[in-house]
A and B are shown apart, each in its own frame.
Chain A
Amino acid sequence: MGHGRGAEAEAADGEEPALQPCAAKKVKLELKERKEKKQKVDEDEIQKMQILVSSFSEEQLNRYEMYRRSAFPKAAIKRLIQSITGTSVSQNVVIAMSGISKVFVGEVVEEALDVCEKWGELPPLQPKHMREAVRRLKSRGQIPNSKYKKIIFH
């Protein structure tokens, strides 16, 4: 074992890297530029958000705070997942699942608000809005459903 490793190591040391030095430098520079550009775009975004938030009414601020802060209780999510798998899951799994679940809620609520508005009605959202929203999201493939096809009455 020792012999083989020694020979390989020697051979590797003698080789040039696959890219020529100046080509490698170019790639490195490009990556750096792209990263800087992305940072600038992010900074612009942050600035714009700050301007927007600073112009919010009190009601809008309240809603925005709820939008940012609302979250599923980690313990309950963990319990739910573990009750399905029967094994334990990592903290990252709970974080990921809670996160995408919140996005999911947002998609349903926003769709339901569209439905509500389209029907010339007002919040609070009613079950019929929620159900219609789900129907629409399902037809766009945005709701996972690996069960048998159910017949849905319109």
Chain B
Amino acid sequence: MADEEEDVPFEEDAEDAGGGLDGGQGKRKRLFSKELRCMMYGFGDDQNPYTESVDILEDLVIEFITEMTHKAMSIGRQGRVQVEDIVFLIRKDPRKFARVKDLLTMNEELKRARKAFDEANYGS
């Protein structure tokens, strides 16, 4: 692997040099390192991703969720986050929109199936 000098994997460097990213969030305890590693591998990275890259991704995800949450709070019912708001916010992003629709549909089906199962058991 060639040019790695410029980005020698030290956490401080990764954050300071991260022009567009909030370097200051590095101090927070890591919330989803394990899960992100699996995700990165699933999406095509090496089976053992670099910790620094995982950390950058975590910061990005937290920023993403924070942005979405703030936006959702400012539309629809103020100060609250509702599913309809999220769906509205991503309506122009075909992938995310389709995914949310799928997830919510599947969840409804699961709930119905579970309910039917419970009722059947209660009957016997």
Contacts and interface: CB of A to CB of B under 8 A. Distances in A.
Interface of A: 62-73, 76-77, 80-81, 84-85, 87, 89-90, 92-93, 95-97, 99-110, 112-113, 120-131, 134-135, 138, 142-146, 150, 152-153
B64 A127 contact: no
Contact of A67 (B43, B57, B61, B81): B43
B104 A92 contact: yes
A103 B38 CA distance: 14
Contacts, number: 186
A145 B45 CA distance: 26
A104 B62 CA distance: 11
A130 B49 CA distance: 12
A127 B7 CA distance: 7
B73 interface: yes
Interface of B: 1-4, 6-7, 9, 14, 17-21, 31-32, 35-36, 38-50, 52-53, 56-57, 60-62, 64-71, 73, 79-83, 86-87, 90, 93, 95-96, 99-100, 103-104, 107
Nearest to B11: A127
Contacts of A134: 20-21, 60
Contact of A105 (B7, B48, B61): B61
Nearest to A65: B42
Contacts of A103: 95-96, 99
- Specify the main secondary structure of chain B where it touches its partner: helix
B26 to A, nearest CB: 12
5 contacts: A62-B47, A103-B95, A104-B61, A106-B43, A126-B4
A7 B69 CA distance: 48
Nearest to B66: A84
Contact of B65 (A81, A107, A123, A153): A81
B81 A85 contact: yes
Given A73-B35, A95-B107, A121-B2, A146 B20 contact: no
